[in-house]
Amino acid sequence: MKRLAVAIIHGIGSEKEFFSVELKHRIVQEYLKGDPENRMEDDLLFHEIYWGDLVKDEHGELLKQLDYRNELTYQGVRNMFVDFMRLGLSYRKGSDSGLYEAIHGRIKESLAKFATHRHVDTDSTPMVLMAHSFGSVIMSDYIHDLANNGADFSPFESFQTLAGIITFASPLGVYSAHHDDFHGPMPKVGKALEDGLKDRVKWLNFYDKDDVVAYPLKNVSEDYNQAVDEDIEINVGSAATSWNPACHTGYWEDKDFYKPVAKYLGEVRAPHDFWKLS
């Protein structure tokens, strides 16, 4: 039996390792409910791409210093804002910080490890990419860089078997509009993907209207309009966060997000000769 790989990269506000464990469990449960007679947990292979430890936690002391009156509210949102400012200044190719190269090196290592999984065929295993927040910007850069530097990578590691993109809480729209040298949208269909699966591939972009980091993508440009299948507005977060910018970190546990994700994975993994035992 062939598997569907799912690679998940985090963004700002989810920098702890094993950030996607609970999301994986929720997606799998919903996936199995969709067709309990024919689906198995082993149909899906999940893998985290973790880079949060490369960003030093320096903002905590700064915020304490600035808030000397101990009166500032929304500390979590402020932390997130400072993180975005820091990344925006340091995440540039060739910058003195070296952060761009360090993060991309981590992605390369992580995908190489994923490629060694005993159920991954590096020539043919389809992969769905899930990218949260600034992780979508990072992966867009990484995939476009591969176009020039991916000769030594397997089809799996170079996203040539890509079977769809799921962005959530993504600032790609703002980022692309304010960076003249930023490239167009990522390709959502890998060149080496099985022909019979290509017509199932989608790019789904999820956003909460209260999340000031997340934006629709289809109206960024005509290229994005063609690449992105749906901008899907959802409401995420708890009673305390679903109505304000703190909802940015609420996608991971919210059924409004993981249920349609599981549905999409089920559509890609629906019966086809490709999925049968070879």
Query: Residues 130-163: pLDDT tens digits?
Result: 999 999 999 999 999 998 776 789 999 999 999 9
Q: Is the pLDDT of residue 244 over 80?
A: no
Q: Tell me the pLDDT tens digit for each residue of 174-191.
A: 887 665 556 789 999 999
pTM of the model: 0.92
Cα–Cα nearest to 261, from 224, 206, 211: 206
The amino acid that residue 134 corresponds to is F
Question: Long-range contacts made by residues 21-28, C-beta under 8 angstroms, separation at least 24?
Answer: 22/252, 22/253, 23/252, 23/253, 23/258, 26/253, 26/255, 26/258, 26/262, 27/258, 27/261, 27/262, 27/265, 28/262
At 79 the pLDDT is 73
Sign of the C-alpha dihedral computed for residues 118, 120, 122 and 124 taken in this order:
positive
What average pLDDT does this structure show over 73-100?
78
Q: What is the pLDDT of residues 17-61, one digit of tens each?
A: 889 999 999 999 999 999 999 999 999 999 999 998 888 665 556
Predicted pLDDT at 230: 98
Answer yes or no: is 150 within a domain: yes
**Is residue 29 one of the residues assigned to a domain?**
yes
Residue 81: CB atoms within 10 A of its CB come to: 17
Number of folded domains in the chain? 1
How much of the chain exceeds pLDDT 70, in percent? 92
In a domain, 73, yes or no: yes
In a domain, 276, yes or no: no
- For residue 176, the enclosing domain spans 4-269
Beta strand 4-9 with 203-207: parallel, antiparallel or unpaired? unpaired
Sheet holding 127-132, edge to edge: 44-49, 4-9, 127-132, 162-168, 203-207, 230-233
The whole-angstrom separation of Cα 225 and Cα 142 is: 21
Tens of pLDDT, residue by residue over 198-212, are 999 999 999 999 998
Identity of the highest mean pLDDT range in 29-33, 50-54, 242-246, 248-252: 29-33
CA gap 134, 46 in Å, rounded: 20
pLDDT at residue number 150:
61
What 8-state DSSP symbol labels residue 196?
Answer: H
Residue 171 lies in a domain: yes
Inside any domain, residue 277 = no
Question: Quick one: what percent of the chain has pLDDT higher than 90?
Answer: 67
Residue 274 within a domain: no
Q: Residue 165: its pLDDT value, please?
A: 98
**Residue 49: which CATH number?**
3.40.50.1820
Tokens representing 140 are 């867009």
| CA–CA dist 111, 116 (Å, integer) | 9
Q: Which residue has the tokens 């043919």?
A: 124
Q: Is 278 within the bounds of a domain? A: no
